[in-house]
């Protein structure tokens, strides 16, 4: 078994690793430590999220940094502020016994003046996000003409976030003699282009199969009707009482609505998305990392760089369009050798994506049924019993109250007392699930394709309408739903696929709601222009949906005065 002590690292680094409890390198660390330390060849390292990539590049760089040289000798680019800070913290831990060594993180959303001032203290390593790094280079405050190492961490994510131009500009300012280290979980075309244009005869090191999922993750999916998606989410959370996870949504609007609804229903949840100011992001991230939040509802961009090793679950409230994004999402659980669970909530029209994901991750994604109320109650009850059994009793503290307790329960046997305590804690939960039926969508069995079954069902359930307003009238899915809300304030109109063209909007409405919507349309106008519409001109079920789920005209924005008194035992909210 290889140990860190087998590598020719400085004693100060080995001492720091011992303090951290690190004894054996991970496969990506073992594969890169000598190659980076003892050669100047460029390296492309491919490994999944959570496999120890930060130590893989930072340990050999630290081993070769000259602490007596005040110049920037290495800089590391990362896609997000959170990841930059995490890398910086790790390097500080690895270098705790290095005298006169400094590392600095720079990123947007923080004072550029403070960062410029910190650069004057001559850090040898700078970690930063592409936008702020480029800004500091162009201002002449970050000197990179003598760097020995350039690291591109999570290169695929930086490209997917739109940093290609910034990366090109940064790479062009650095010396050709540098050693470039590109670390990535996947190898899309953009990453290959960077390697071709800016790296010299790079050696590729791949740990595990590229674009595959961590083998420690169990993948499953559920199929429900769109109107039951939120109820299903609550049921999955309730069936896993000790869940500590991230719920991924596609849009910022969905993220905030789901987090708000969960909060109203008594769950310990909060949202993380791009509309939050940095102080709000930091507050939410801090609560989640410290375990004060049980559930984080996030968009893909907002969650990038979030480094938490103990996540039990990742739940896809909506599947991403790109299977590689699925890999990034689910790679946030099952880290540091622990087991993780990745669950996805689908409607029948999304079943085709599962086959794509299976091909991408080279693993099966298992069909599962949303558990029924009785199973959920049993899971919660067993969790409660285990917590009670594990609760320590401070005999000295409770001693003054023992006599009163015995007197209060003197006419009851132990079993009756237990039943009453359980009922006090649990009755509301049981009552809620007595009213929740089976939310699993009906799927055909045997040789009939599930996708064919969905297509027929979709055709039967929805009609298509065309409005004479489109992009030229600034129509978008949100404004369409708002407009429908105003037409039918007392109904929850289920809207399926939406296709917005330049001069018209094509959208699907559930068949049994078409008449009431058409009556409202006949008496209305949009921005002062009379509406015209056509009914069922053609199907748009094969169009790319603008959203991931049937839209509901009335999303959960308030609780109508009803309070939730027990976690998970909330009202059934329509999302």
> In angstroms, what CA-CA distances link 369 with 221, 226, 300, 470?
8, 15, 26, 39
DSSP state of 554: S
Neighbours of 348 (CB within 10 A): 21
Residue 120 pLDDT > 50: yes
Domains present along the chain, CATH in parentheses: 4-206 (3.40.50.300), 217-370 (3.40.50.300), 374-434 (no CATH), 450-544 (3.30.70.330)
**Residues whose CB is less than 8 angstroms from the CB of residue 477 and which lie 6 or more positions away in sequence, other chains included:** 498, 500, 546, 547, 551
Q: What is the 3-state secondary structure (H, E, C) of 201-243?
A: CCEEEECCCCCCCCCCEEEEEEEECHHHHHHHHHHHHHCCCCC
The Cα 270–Cα 191 span in angstroms is 33
Q: Retrieve residue 167's tokens.
A: 């990366």
Of 348 and 305, the one with more pLDDT: 348
Mean predicted confidence (pLDDT) in 437-456:
54
Q: Give the DSSP per-residue string, 268-299.
A: -EEEE-TTS-HHHHHHHHHHHHTTS-SEEEE-
Of 106-115, 206-215, 422-431, where does mean pLDDT reach its minimum? 206-215
Structure confidence by residue, pLDDT tens digits, 515-568? 777 766 665 666 655 566 555 443 443 333 333 334 444 333 333 333 333 344
The Cα 242–Cα 380 span in angstroms is 9
Residue 221 pLDDT > 50: yes
Of 265 and 528, the one with more pLDDT: 265
The Cα 273–Cα 297 span in angstroms is 8
- Note the Cα 385 to chain centre separation in Å: 31
**Residue 101, pLDDT score:** 94
Question: What pLDDT band is residue 510 in, cutting at 50, 70 and 90?
Answer: confident
pTM: 0.56
CB 184 within 8 A of CB 210: no
Of 298-302, 367-371, 387-391, 499-503, where does mean pLDDT reach its minimum? 499-503
Mean predicted confidence (pLDDT) in 96-106:
93
Question: What pLDDT band is residue 181 in, cutting at 50, 70 and 90?
Answer: very high
CB 484 within 8 A of CB 495: yes
Of 162 and 539, the one with more pLDDT: 162
CB 570 within 8 A of CB 264: yes
Question: What pLDDT band is residue 59 in, cutting at 50, 70 and 90?
Answer: very high
Mean pLDDT for all residues in the chain = 80
The Cα 73–Cα 61 span in angstroms is 9
> In angstroms, what CA-CA distances link 313 with 137, 237, 342, 570?
40, 10, 6, 22
Mean predicted confidence (pLDDT) in 440-454:
50
Residue 426 pLDDT > 90: no
The Cα 542–Cα 562 span in angstroms is 40
Mean predicted confidence (pLDDT) in 87-97:
94
CB 250 within 8 A of CB 318: yes
Q: What is the 3-state secondary structure (H, E, C) of 383-403?
A: HHHHHHHHCCCCHHHHHHHHH
The Cα 139–Cα 129 span in angstroms is 16
Structure confidence by residue, pLDDT tens digits, 14-36? 999 999 888 888 888 998 998 89
Residue 279 pLDDT > 90: no
> Between helices 477-487 and 514-522, what is the axis angle to 10°?
90
**Residue 216, pLDDT score:** 81
């Amino acid at each position: 078994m290889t140990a860190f002590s087998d590598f020719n690292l400085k004693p100060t680094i080995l001492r720091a690793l011992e303090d951290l409890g690190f004894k054996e390198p991970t496969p990506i660390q073992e594969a890169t430590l000598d190659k980076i330390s003892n050669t100047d060849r460029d390296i492309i390292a491919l490994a999944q999220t959570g496999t120890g990539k930060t130590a893989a590049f930072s340990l050999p760089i630290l081993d070769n940094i000259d602490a007596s040289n005040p110049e920037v000798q290495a800089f590391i680019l990362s896609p997000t502020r959170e990841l930059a800070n995490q890398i910086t913290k790790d390097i500080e831990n690895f270098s705790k016994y290095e005298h006169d060594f400094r590392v600095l993180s720079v990123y947007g959303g923080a004072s550029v003046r403070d960062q410029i001032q910190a650069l004057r203290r001559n850090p040898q390593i700078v970690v930063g996000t592409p936008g702020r790094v480029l800004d500091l280079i162009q201002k002449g405050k970050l000197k990179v003409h003598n760097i020995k190492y350039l690291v591109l961490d999570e290169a695929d994510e930086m490209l997917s976030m739109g940093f290609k131009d910034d990366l090109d500009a940064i790479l062009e300012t650095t010396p050709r003699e540098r050693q470039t280290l590109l670390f990535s979980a996947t190898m899309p075309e953009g990453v290959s282009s960077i390697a071709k244009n800016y790296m010299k005869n790079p050696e590729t090191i791949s740990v595990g199969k590229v674009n595959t999922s961590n083998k420690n993750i169990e993948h499953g999916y559920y199929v429900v009707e769109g109107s039951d998606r939120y109820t299903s989410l609550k049921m999955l959370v309730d069936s896993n009482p000790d869940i500590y996870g991230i719920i991924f949504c596609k849009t910022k609007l969905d993220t905030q609505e789901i987090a708000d609804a969960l909060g109203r229903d008594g769950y310990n949840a909060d949202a993380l998305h791009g509309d939050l100011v940095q102080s709000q992001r930091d507050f939410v991230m801090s609560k989640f990392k410290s375990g004060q939040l049980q559930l984080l509802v996030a968009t893909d961009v907002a969650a990038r760089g979030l480094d938490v090793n103990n996540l039990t679950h990742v739940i896809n409230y909506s599947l991403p369009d790109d299977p590689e994004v699925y890999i990034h999402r689910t790679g946030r659980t099952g880290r540091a050798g622990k087991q993780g669970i990745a669950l996805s909530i689908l409607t029948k029209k999304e079943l085709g994506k599962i086959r794509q994901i299976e091909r991408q991750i080279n693993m099966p994604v298992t069909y599962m049924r949303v558990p029924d109320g009785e199973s959920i109650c049993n899971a919660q009850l067993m969790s409660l019993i285990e917590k009670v059994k594990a609760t320590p009793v401070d005999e000295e503290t409770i001693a003054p109250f023992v006599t009163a307790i015995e007197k209060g329960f003197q006419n009851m046997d132990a079993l009756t007392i237990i039943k009453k305590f359980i009922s006090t804690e649990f009755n509301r939960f049981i009552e809620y699930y007595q009213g929740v039926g089976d939310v699993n969508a009906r799927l055909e069995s045997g040789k009939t394709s599930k996708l064919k079954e969905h297509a027929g069902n979709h055709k039967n359930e929805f009609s298509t309408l065309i409005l004479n307003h489109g992009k030229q009238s600034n129509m978008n899915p949100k404004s369409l739903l708002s407009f429908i809300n105003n037409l039918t304030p007392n109904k929850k109109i289920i809207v399926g696929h939406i296709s917005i063209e330049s001069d018209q909007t094509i959208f699907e409405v559930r068949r049994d709601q078409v008449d009431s919507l058409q009556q409202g349309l006949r008496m209305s106008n949009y921005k002062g222009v009379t509406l015209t519409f056509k009914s069922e001109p053609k199907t748009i079920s094969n169009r790319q949906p603008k959203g991931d789920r049937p839209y509901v005209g009335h999303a959960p924005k308030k609780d109508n005065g009803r309070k939730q008194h027990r976690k998970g035992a909330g009202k059934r909210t329509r999302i």
